[in-house]
Amino acid sequence: MHICIISDSHDHREHLAAAVAEAKQLGAQAVLHCGDLVAPSTLHAIIPLELPVYIVHGNNTGDLFHLSKLAHKPENRVHYYGQDGSVALAGRRIFIVHYPHYAKAMALTGDYDLVCNGHEHRAVIERIINIKGGETLRIDPGTVGGVSAPATYVLGDLEKMEFEIRPVPLPAETSDNQTVGKRRRAPP
């Protein structure tokens, strides 16, 4: 199963829609949003893509009442977890939170295969040795909204546990002349 990991959209609908649409075209079957969506209405840009969206809030919480209300509408596939969430997809245990220090701590427990966070506004893929003697992958997809950094997201394969940082595909006039270097894969 392929997934799209995003964070820090900060109401940038076009960026959010472009990333998720490309990820879906590349086979993504679910979206993990690691917080700082801000306005729940921003999700209207990706709801028509009919992918399940698993989301937590961040430090820019926006309207949590309406985010919860949106998640309870039967016609969409938004799953809102509050501050943090635990999801099982394709046999993998996944933890989602906004803050990197919290994500690193949860990765250390060894209870999860993948821990995703946002907040840093820079994409990071790292393997953390956990207390059970194994490895947990921690991913921060960067800022899909392109806030003070290039707009990025992560496309991943849960079966192979392979992930790559990808630039958000935007037309030149809306990208604010931000570019992203080479696509990077998870370290071996």
pLDDT at 173: 46
User: Shortest CA distance to 134 belongs to which of 160, 115, 112, 101?
Assistant: 112
Query: How large is the average pLDDT for residues 67-84?
Result: 91
Where exactly are the structural domains of the chain?
Answer: 2-185
Q: Which fold has domain 2-185?
A: Purple Acid Phosphatase; chain A, domain 2 (3.60.21)
User: Shortest CA distance to 53 belongs to which of 34, 72, 74, 79?
Assistant: 79
User: Does 98 have pLDDT greater than 80?
Assistant: yes
Segment among 55-69, 76-90, 149-163, 164-178 with least mean pLDDT: 164-178
How far does the chain reach from its first CA to its final CA, in angstroms?
20
User: Does 175 have pLDDT greater than 80?
Assistant: no
Please state the pTM of the whole predicted model.
Answer: 0.90
Going by pLDDT thresholds of 50, 70 and 90, the confidence category of residue 73 is: confident
User: Does 82 have pLDDT greater than 70?
Assistant: yes
Angle made by CA atoms 109, 115, 69, in degrees to the nearest 5: 120
Query: How large is the average pLDDT for residues 45-51?
Result: 96
pLDDT digits (tens, 9 = 90+) for 112-127: 999 999 999 999 999 9
User: Does 30 have pLDDT greater than 60?
Assistant: yes
CA distances from 43 to 58, 78, 107, 118, 177 (A): 15, 9, 28, 17, 25
User: Shortest CA distance to 29 belongs to which of 180, 177, 173, 155?
Assistant: 155
Q: How far apart (Å, rounded) are the C-alpha atoms in residues 117 and 124? A: 10
User: Does 170 have pLDDT greater than 90?
Assistant: no
